[in-house]
Chains A and B, each alone.
Chain A
Amino acid sequence: DSGVTQTPKHLITATGQRVTLRCSPRSGDLSVYWYQQSLDQGLQFLIQYYNGEERAKGNILERFSAQQFPDLHSELNLSSLELGDSALYFCASSGEGEQFFGPGTRLTVL
């Protein structure tokens, strides 16, 4: 158990909808990272937050947004969903120079 929690575990929704994925980092970790993993794209870095502030941006679509709250949990919002957004979404937090990954949220867009 990495100490990083993600909810929900599975999410099934329709095209055009909006969903919110939630992540709680390990106790004491200030950084949260979001990744998307799909069969054709591999593991793609989306965005990083550090203590509530956006720190780095990767291949994140404009339809996606994230935030980190004062209690350090983070949410990834995905809107106007398309079939191609179906993927595993991972959250990770970092401490001691390494990343600790959550179990992921599997998003299926029908």
Chain B
Amino acid sequence: AQSVTQLGSHVSVSEGALVLLRCNYSSSVPPYLFWYVQYPNQGLQLLLKYTTGATLVKGINGFEAEFKKSETSFHLTKPSAHMSDAAEYFCALNTGNQFYFGTGTSLTVIP
């Protein structure tokens, strides 16, 4: 069965510190993987996506994620957190027929 698991529903980091948001997936077919960000009272917007090819993908706002097939993971990182990064982050999987979303991780950035 296809699924997405985000470890940690709430993550707090200090401004300037590394951001690491964890995502593991389960898929019986080669997955397309995504990270979306949602700011308060807004829709979800795409941060980055992995389809095929290079396993390290770069997205907007300095975020990147690495697809690790052996670990079935797609963790999101950013070297230095900014106050504007405070938001809800969703990892998602597309198996070709359907999209599966994780339960989300709320990121708090402490000044």
Contacts and interface: CB of A to CB of B under 8 A. Distances in A.
A98 B94 contact: yes
Interface string A43-73: 1010010000001100000000000000000
Contacts, number: 45
A102 B51 contact: no
Interface residues of A, number: 21
Query: Per DSSP, are chain B's interface residues mostly helix, strand or loop, or mixed?
Result: strand
Contact of A102 (B32, B43, B94, B99): B43
A65 B13 CA distance: 42
Please report whether the interface of chain A is mostly helix, strand, loop or mixed according to DSSP: strand
B44 A101 contact: yes
A97 B42 contact: no
Interface residues of B, number: 20
Contacts of B61: none
Given A97-B49, A98-B32, 20 more contacts: A2-B45, A4-B43, A43-B90, A43-B101, A55-B97, A56-B97, A56-B98, A90-B43, A94-B99, A98-B34, A98-B49, A99-B94, A100-B46, A101-B43, A101-B44, A101-B45, A103-B42, A103-B43, A104-B42, A106-B41
